[in-house]
Structure 1
Amino acid sequence: MSLHTVVNSLDGGKSVIKINSQVWQRTSCDKPLGKFVLVKIASNWRDAETYCWQYYTNLATIHSDQEQQDVWDLLTDSDIVWIGLGFDNWLWSDGSKTTFRYWHPGQPYSATDDGNCAMVSTSWGGDWDDTACNGVMSFMCYKGNTQITPPRSK
């Protein structure tokens, strides 16, 4: 959950103070608030997807360099987080196709018996990696206006 407070700055303009994960960030009121939220609840990919459907819209979908940067800006030094890309055809959690890619060199690597899902790792500079979907980590939700898709059956 993010809290927002409008304050006057020394130059007479207005700023928004955003409190995310107990960190204060100052940003211009003219800058739109982010459409992604970092959820620090250790979950496998399926549970993360369900959580995002319940409280936001979907796991994060990334369709541009700007959205990739927006996700990166929310991460801290040691974050590894699920994003909404997964399974056989590398479709996003919202059902859209992958037209933008930010894979680490050599990724995606290979399929596993537990499915393949994508994560963003700060140790790889924000590049995407694929891993078994039953791994447990934090995740990034998309909180914009999208159509919520029903859970897929495996």
Structure 2
Amino acid sequence: MPTEHPSITRFREEHARLGGTGEVVILPDSVHTAALAAAALGCEPGAIANSLLFDADGDPVLVLTSGAHRVDTTATAARVGVPRLRRASPEFVRDHTGQVIGGVSPLAHPSPVPTYLDPWLERHPVVWAAAGHPAAVFSTTFDELRALTGATVVEVE
């Protein structure tokens, strides 16, 4: 039996420690986009919580946004009180989350990361987010995701 990727194991441990109730699903292929994840799970792209790590002048900021939108970085930076949000490099993402782009979960980072949650996700009774690896996802609800992450709800469009 193949062993599980260490980032998925770390996610599972943190998810359980925090009292998460959702199911972790390992998909047969990586799902690097909301559209691919939605197709694999049979849900709308809007029910996918994209975990987008931004570089705010050297500090990480995690935005959990509906797969139905793009983040307006200028408006969101102003709303969260940072000078600007830039796309993070793969190295910055790995350093701050311990995970790779396309598999960044909202949990199980080496250190706490300020996290913001798109209110559009509340429209879906089940929300899916990455579980530490591009082929791993977990089910949750908006309220549970907010509780698990300590996220602040903020408009991101």
Query: Greater helix share, 1 or 2?
Result: 2
Mark yes or no: TM-score above 0.5: no
Q: Looking at CA atoms only, which structure, 1 or 2, has the larger radius of gyration? A: 1
TM-score, normalised on structure 2?
A: 0.28
